Chains A and B, each alone.
Chain A
Amino acid sequence: MIREIIAAVLIGLGVLVFILSIFGVYRFDYVLSRIHAAALSDTLATLLVFVGVIVLKGFGWGSAKVLLILIFQWVTSPVATHRIGQVEILTNPDYDKHCEVK
C-alpha cells in the first residue's frame, strides 16, 4: 500500500514536470528557451516516472531494464539538446537579439 502511494506520487510528479515542459515549449518563442524547457522532460520527468515504475514493480529483471533505459535516455537526450543549441548558434547570426549568450 505504502509502496503504491510512493509510486503514485513519483509518477504524478513526473507527469506534472512533463506538462510543465510541454507548456514551456509552446509558451517560449525562441529556440534556446524552448530547448531549455524541452530538456526538462528528457531528464527530470523520465527520472521521476521510471523511479516510480521501479518502486511499483519492485527490484527484478524488469526494473533492471527500466534502469538501463533511464541511463540510455540520460546519456543521449542532453547530447541531442546540446547539439540543437549549438546548431542554432552556428547558423543564426543574430541570436543576440533574443537572449544573452555567453
Chain B
Amino acid sequence: MKTDNWFQRLVRWTNGDSKPLHEPQAHVEFPKKETPEAPEAPFEKGPSLLKSSAGEITNFSLMVVSMFCCGVLILVLLLTVAYLPRFGSSYNAPVNEVSQRYVEQGVQEVGATNLVTNIILVYRGFDTYGESCVLFLGATAVIMLMAIDRNNTTKKDLEELEETEKMESKNRNQIIRHVTMILMPIIFLYGLYILCNGHLSPGGGFAGGSILGGALILCETAFGVKKVHSFFNHKVYHIIKVGALILYAVLICYTIFVGANGLENIIPLGKPGSILSAGIILPINVAVGLEVACTMYAFYIYFGKGNL
C-alpha cells in the first residue's frame, strides 16, 4: 500500500487508528463463529435508511456541513463572551443586591442553614423543577428507545439475552455478594442521610440521589436483575418517578402562588438547624433524590438489559 498524505492519516486518526503515522495495517478478519442460522423473523430487517449509492459524496458533504455548524457555534459562543459584563463593573451579579439579600435574610425567610439549598430549591426553585423535568424526560426517552418489546426484538435476541443472564449468574462470585451484603445497608443509609440533611449540610437531592442510584446499580451487579426486580419493579418505578415529580410541582406551585399574592404560608418554617425545619425544602429534597436515583438506575438497566 502506498504512503498516504497527511489528510488521510488525520482521517484515520479521527476514526480511531492508534498508530496513524505508520502504514495502515491489513484488516484482521475475525474467524466467524459457526452458528445455526435462526429462522428470519418478518420484521427483522428493513432497508437501511443510511445507505446511499453515492456514499463518498454524502460523506464529504456531511463533513462540510458539520464543519460549518461547528464554525457557527464557535462564532456565536465567542460573540457571547464579548457581550459578557466587564470584570469588576458595579452591575455585576456579585455586587448587586440579590446575593446580599440571600445571605442576610435567607435563613429567616426560608429556614435552611445551608444557603446554597435555600437558593436552588426555593429562591430558584422553578429552575430546579425544570432540571427534574429534564431527568424525567431523559429517563422516559431512554425507555422509549431501549425498552425491549414485541416490535424490536426477535426470538434470537431474547435467547441471547437469556444466555448472557445464565452466564452471569454462573460467574457471579461469592466475594462480591458477601461484600455487597455488608455494604448495601450502609450505602443506603448514607444516601438517605445526605438526602434528609440537605438543608443543614452540604449535599441534598442530587448528591444523595446519585448515591442511592449507585447503591441500586451495585445491588444489580451483585445479585442480578431478578433480585432487584423483587423490590424495584415497573410499578414501583413509575409510582416513585411520577409521584416525586408531582409532589415537587405541587409544593413549588403553592410556594410561588402564596409568595406572589402576599398570602400567609401555612407550611411551618421550624427552628433553623433542626431536621424538621425549612418548610418545603425537606420534601423537595427527598423528591429530587428519588427522581435522580430512579433515573440513574433506569439508564443503567435499560442500556444494559433493555428491561427493568
A-side interface residues toward B, CB under 8 Å? Answer: 72, 75-76, 79, 82-83, 86, 90
Contact = CB atoms under 8 A, between A and B. Distances in A.
A86 B173 contact: yes
Given A79-B176, A83-B176, A90 B182 contact: no
Interface string B77-98: 0000000000000000000000
A72 B182 CA distance: 11
A36 to B, nearest CB: 17
Contacts of A75: 179, 182-183
Contacts of B179: 75-76, 79
Nearest to B190: A72
Nearest to A83: B176
Contacts of B171: 86, 90
Contacts, number: 15
Contacts of A76: 179, 183
B175 interface: yes
Interface in B179-206: 179, 182-183
B183 A82 contact: no
Contacts of A82: 175
For the residues of A in contact with B, the DSSP-based class is helix
Contacts of B176: 79, 83
Contacts of A86: 171, 173
Interface string B161-184: 000000000010101100100110
Contacts of B175: 79, 82
A40 B171 CA distance: 26
Nearest to B218: A76
B94 to A, nearest CB: 33
Given A75-B182, A76-B183, A79-B179, 12 more contacts: A72-B183, A75-B179, A75-B183, A76-B179, A79-B175, A79-B176, A82-B175, A83-B173, A83-B176, A86-B171, A86-B173, A90-B171
A72 to B, nearest CB: 8
A82 to B, nearest CB: 6
Nearest to A68: B186
A88 B135 CA distance: 35
Nearest to B182: A75
A85 to B, nearest CB: 11
Contacts of B173: 83, 86
Contacts of A83: 173, 176
A90 B175 CA distance: 16
Nearest to B171: A90
A80 to B, nearest CB: 9
5 contacts: A75-B183, A79-B176, A82-B175, A86-B171, A86-B173
A76 B176 CA distance: 9
Interface string B222-250: 00000000000000000000000000000
A42 to B, nearest CB: 14
